[in-house]
Chains A and B, each alone.
Chain A
Amino acid sequence: MKRLVLLLCLIAAPVFAVQPDEVLDDPVLETRAREISAGLRCLVCRNESIDESNAELARDLRLLVRDRLVAGDSDSQVVSYIVDRYGEYVLLKPQMGGSNIALWLAGPAMLLLGAGIAMLYIRRRSRTEPAGDGTLTETEEARLRQIMDE
């Protein structure tokens, strides 16, 4: 029974995220590899980076990233190497260029717009103040005089 359990576990065992045998000896290179792979998407998973993913393909990509780093590529060279082969779909942080400008500018543009509307609103509410509880209108003053006289 024990052996059967072990066997079943082995068959179905997921390949865990970063494996001990993948880790590079050079800690500086390894840190760079981790940073790069946190920004690359695993192509067969739901929104996971290759650094987190258990999939076979993610492991291949992690090894590829490390191979390129050992070969002496810079970080951006590694990323563009992967993007050239798998398309910009692998980038978890979309590029700035082209239609993506809309994505990156959406937040700041909305902030400016919202801030403008909010400022106008607040100024309007603060401007109406004197009329509200400051001076009295003519009819009100007349009525006040009338009351005081009585």
Chain B
Amino acid sequence: MITELGHFALILAFCVACVQAVLPLIGAHKRWPGWMAVAAPAATAQFLLTAGSFAALTWAFVTSDFSLRLVTLNSHSAKPMLYKITGVWGNHEGSMLLWILIVTLFGACVAWFGTNLPPSLKARVLAVQAMIGVAFFAFLIFTSNPFLRLATAPFDGQDLNPLLQDPGLAFHPPFLYLGYVGLSMTFSFAIAALIEGRVDAAWGRWMRPYTLAAWIFLTIGIALGSWWAYYELGWGGFWFWDPVENASFMPWLIAVALLHSAIVVEKRESLKSWTILLAIIAFGFSMVGAFITRSGVLTSVHAFANDPERGVFLLGITALFMMGGLTMFAARASVMQSKGVFAVKSRESMLVLNNLLLGVACFIVFVGTIWPLVSELFFDRKLSVGAPFFNLAFTPFMVLLGLVLPIGAMLPWKRGSFGRVLRALAPAFVLAVAVALLAWAMQSGRSALGPVGLFLGAWLVAGSVTDLWTRTGRNGGVGGRLRRLARLPRADWGKSVAHGGLGITMAGVAGMMAWSVEDIRVAQVGDSFDVAGYTLTLDDVRQAQGPNYMSTTGDFTLARGASRIALLHPEKRFYPVAQMPTTEAGIDNGFLRDVYVVIGDPQDGGGWAVRTYYKPLANWIWGGAILMALGGALSLSDRRYRVAAGARKVAPVQGVPAE
């Protein structure tokens, strides 16, 4: 019964979306206030109906209703409750429903919080958002309906993929979708602005919070996925340049570019048409991401053939919105006149450079990701593009970005002088060079990667601190400046925290790639061995029974010299229902390093295969990502978005007197 209600709510939401996509648009064109006013309540209704539908599906998973095809395929009665709930989006249909829920959530946010938007803009934004909703509702209802029943319900389900039964991966998709779908909101704002024919500082201020929110969620989602890969896949890799990963990374890069160009629109009324274009492209990349992930076209050609309907449908939606958006852009971009004037040496120019570097970096990831497909289709060459290519082609852009970032962040708007900024940054630069030299002297090999990474890290962190400090003015003594520091706008703090976080991530990535130590050996119970200055002892190997798996657990003692540091319990699990093994690494987390132990197979001659890794700066990668997200959140909470957010200088007259 509840399932049918959920199914019905989904179809109703689809109908509401259809209405919301058309009426407000006509209303805004004809200046009929009543028709425009349909948008906001419709958006709320759409969200509530979709939320009801999602709740019904969650209920089916929680109560293990195996008469539902989806629950049978992806759940099991013995599964822990947490994974029963997260199992809702651990499959194609459920995750698509979550996706749509977020589309409607963002629409509802505009309806609730966009009270100071001009009515016509608000109506158009919500109409475009509803169009996106209509496309995905149709996709869900017609090709991947989660509410299909089975004629005869089986006694138990087939269990969720064991790899997904993990806290890191359980919450990875919702964050990622909040990010992907958040970019649909900026797309809607961009299209609405093209229809309106005006982009000004106020528009930049209205759309920037959504960009920021999307980017924050995308950052958290990607970091969670990378963290999961690190501890779950059993050898401590954190990024594989896999097509599916790249699919999330490309929108992230474009979102970063958009975030920065929107600042120029907001503060200086320049880069308008470029920002609109970025907003369209950003959503395009998140659609391409959905297509790559769900069609399987890039991981295996067969997956595409298995389900051509879904892939073609998604490709159709992508093409529709991109072609529509870009056509509108071509037709209307000339209306956008930039107002701001700036010199070559200015914050604006540096932000253009930021956009150039990020845009090209994203383009490289895109070309590398689709190249195997292009090469096979057009040149008849079956080839692979993997990590070695991306590391070589992508890294230089990030290094360059890190080098110029502190300078660009401090250069004044309109017209600045490099000399003054460089003088202010001199201590930060000296510190960064010193850190790099120290790392160079201390490392055993002669790799440039580690020192360069640490240089960038120190340069970005010290540069951000310098930026904040110079904002407190020159006089007032240290006490006065500290007081002013605390009173700086949150946006300034957000900027520095996010930039510092990027530096910490860069240092972490470089440190981990340059200085990891690996040890592979056969260990008998009772054996001790040394890895990178640490001593590990295999105390015992035992069998244990989990709720829905069986586990082989190794008990290790980690010691340094005579002092015992930690007990580590790496596991090898086997999920009998899904017939799948997984590994759970035993990790001792530290500020400067992780020690990472994995237990492998029993060996013929007795003993167990044991792999141990010493991973320097591992936690800096995710710590930096958390700082970046925190910086975004600080910026989002800035006063100017809450108080009189973007009151236009001249309020446009909307609507006509009642007839």
| Interface segment, one of A65-73, A89-97, A138-146 | A89-97
Q: Is the beta-carbon distance between B609 and A107 smaller than 8 angstroms? A: no
Q: A135 CA to B522 CA in the complex, in Å?
A: 82
**B341 CB contact (under 8 Å) in A16, A20, A23, A129:** A129
Residues of chain B contacted by A106 (CB below 8 angstroms)? 363-364, 367
Q: Is the beta-carbon distance between A118 and B353 smaller than 8 angstroms? A: yes
A46-B299, A46-B300 are contacts. A12–B364 as well, Cβ < 8 Å?
no
Which residue of chain B is the closest to A41 with respect to CB atoms? Answer: B384
A9-B550, A99-B379 are contacts. A122–B349 as well, Cβ < 8 Å?
yes
Residues of chain A contacted by B371 (CB below 8 angstroms)? 94, 100, 103
Q: Is the beta-carbon distance between B387 and A92 smaller than 8 angstroms? A: yes
Residues of chain A contacted by B252 (CB below 8 angstroms)? none
Q: A91 CA to B572 CA in the complex, in Å?
A: 31
**B381 CB contact (under 8 Å) in A5, A14, A98, A132:** A98
**B375 CB contact (under 8 Å) in A20, A38, A99:** A99
- B115 interface residue, CB < 8 Å from A? no
Q: Is the beta-carbon distance between B343 and A100 smaller than 8 angstroms? A: no
Q: Is the beta-carbon distance between B580 and A12 smaller than 8 angstroms? A: yes
| Interface segment, one of B235-243, B325-333, B405-413, B618-626 | B235-243
Q: Is the beta-carbon distance between B235 and A17 smaller than 8 angstroms? A: yes
- A123 interface residue, CB < 8 Å from B? yes
Q: Is the beta-carbon distance between A19 and B609 smaller than 8 angstroms? A: yes
Q: Is the beta-carbon distance between B356 and A100 smaller than 8 angstroms? A: no
**A91 CB contact (under 8 Å) in B242, B352, B383, B522:** B383
**A115 CB contact (under 8 Å) in B356, B375, B386, B550:** B356
Residues of chain A contacted by B359 (CB below 8 angstroms)? 110, 114
- B389 interface residue, CB < 8 Å from A? yes
Binary interface encoding of chain B residues 57-86 relative to chain A, with 1 for a CB under 8 A from any of its CBs, else 0: 000000000000000000000000000000
Q: Is the beta-carbon distance between B352 and A122 smaller than 8 angstroms? A: yes
Residues of chain A contacted by B342 (CB below 8 angstroms)? 122, 125-126, 129
Q: Is the beta-carbon distance between A8 and B387 smaller than 8 angstroms? A: no
Q: Size range of the interface on B?
A: 35 or more
A16-B234, A39-B388 are contacts. A100–B364 as well, Cβ < 8 Å?
no
Q: Is the beta-carbon distance between B545 and A5 smaller than 8 angstroms? A: yes
- A76 interface residue, CB < 8 Å from B? no
- A10 interface residue, CB < 8 Å from B? yes
> B interface, by DSSP: helix, strand, loop or mixed?
mixed
Residues of chain B contacted by A133 (CB below 8 angstroms)? 341
User: Shortest distance in angstroms between B352's beta carbon and chain A's nearest beta carbon?
Assistant: 5
Q: Is the beta-carbon distance between A103 and B367 smaller than 8 angstroms? A: yes
Residues of chain A contacted by B367 (CB below 8 angstroms)? 103, 106-107
User: Shortest distance in angstroms between B582's beta carbon and chain A's nearest beta carbon?
Assistant: 9
- A18 interface residue, CB < 8 Å from B? yes
- A27 interface residue, CB < 8 Å from B? no
User: Shortest distance in angstroms between A72's beta carbon and chain B's nearest beta carbon?
Assistant: 24
Q: Is the beta-carbon distance between B386 and A49 smaller than 8 angstroms? A: yes
Q: Is the beta-carbon distance between A100 and B609 smaller than 8 angstroms? A: no
Q: A50 CA to B343 CA in the complex, in Å?
A: 52
Residues of chain A contacted by B368 (CB below 8 angstroms)? 103
- B467 interface residue, CB < 8 Å from A? no
Residues of B509-563 at the interface with A, using a CB-CB cut-off of 8 Å, are: 520-522, 543, 545, 550, 552
- A80 interface residue, CB < 8 Å from B? no
A9-B552, A91-B384, A106-B367 are contacts. A16–B543 as well, Cβ < 8 Å?
no
Residues of chain B contacted by A10 (CB below 8 angstroms)? 601-602
Q: Is the beta-carbon distance between A8 and B384 smaller than 8 angstroms? A: no
Residues of B592-630 at the interface with A, using a CB-CB cut-off of 8 Å, are: 598, 600-603, 609, 611
Q: Is the beta-carbon distance between B363 and A92 smaller than 8 angstroms? A: no
Binary interface encoding of chain A residues 49-74 relative to chain B, with 1 for a CB under 8 A from any of its CBs, else 0: 10010000000000000000000000
Residues of B359-382 at the interface with A, using a CB-CB cut-off of 8 Å, are: 359-360, 363-364, 367-368, 371, 375, 378-379, 381-382
- B427 interface residue, CB < 8 Å from A? no
Residues of chain A contacted by B383 (CB below 8 angstroms)? 88-89, 91, 94, 100
Q: A103 CA to B373 CA in the complex, in Å?
A: 12
Residues of A77-95 at the interface with B, using a CB-CB cut-off of 8 Å, are: 87-94
Q: Which of A8, A104, A111, A133 has the largest number of chain B CB atoms within 10 A?
A: A111
Q: Is the beta-carbon distance between A12 and B579 smaller than 8 angstroms? A: yes
Which residue of chain A is the closest to B386 with respect to CB atoms? Answer: A92
User: Shortest distance in angstroms between A105's beta carbon and chain B's nearest beta carbon?
Assistant: 10
User: Shortest distance in angstroms between B296's beta carbon and chain A's nearest beta carbon?
Assistant: 10
**A88 CB contact (under 8 Å) in B360, B382, B602, B611:** B382
Q: Is the beta-carbon distance between A126 and B341 smaller than 8 angstroms? A: yes
Which residue of chain A is the closest to B300 with respect to CB atoms? Answer: A46
Q: Is the beta-carbon distance between A123 and B344 smaller than 8 angstroms? A: yes
**B364 CB contact (under 8 Å) in A8, A46, A107:** A107
Q: A5 CA to B397 CA in the complex, in Å?
A: 51
Which residue of chain A is the closest to B544 with respect to CB atoms? Answer: A5
Q: Is the beta-carbon distance between B375 and A100 smaller than 8 angstroms? A: yes
Q: Is the beta-carbon distance between B520 and A18 smaller than 8 angstroms? A: yes
Residues of A29-52 at the interface with B, using a CB-CB cut-off of 8 Å, are: 38-39, 41, 46-49, 52
Q: A9 CA to B364 CA in the complex, in Å?
A: 43
Residues of chain A contacted by B378 (CB below 8 angstroms)? 99
User: Shortest distance in angstroms between A122's beta carbon and chain B's nearest beta carbon?
Assistant: 5
**A47 CB contact (under 8 Å) in B240, B360, B375, B543:** B240
| New A-B pairs, 9, CB < 8 Å, besides A49-B387, A87-B382 | A9-B572, A10-B601, A49-B386, A90-B384, A99-B375, A103-B368, A110-B359, A114-B359, A132-B341
The 10 closest A-B pairs by CB, nearest first: A92-B386, A93-B388, A99-B379, A107-B364, A16-B600, A106-B367, A5-B550, A20-B522, A129-B341, A47-B242
29 A-B pairs with C-beta separation under 8 A? A5-B543, A12-B579, A13-B581, A15-B601, A16-B609, A20-B520, A20-B609, A38-B387, A38-B388, A41-B386, A46-B300, A47-B240, A47-B241, A48-B240, A52-B235, A52-B237, A90-B384, A91-B384, A92-B386, A93-B386, A99-B379, A100-B381, A103-B367, A106-B367, A107-B363, A111-B356, A118-B352, A121-B352, A129-B342
What is B's interface to A at a CB cutoff of 8 Å? 234-235, 237, 240-243, 270, 299-300, 338, 340-344, 348-349, 352-353, 355-356, 359-360, 363-364, 367-368, 371, 375, 378-379, 381-389, 392-393, 520-522, 543, 545, 550, 552, 572, 574, 576, 579-581, 598, 600-603, 609, 611
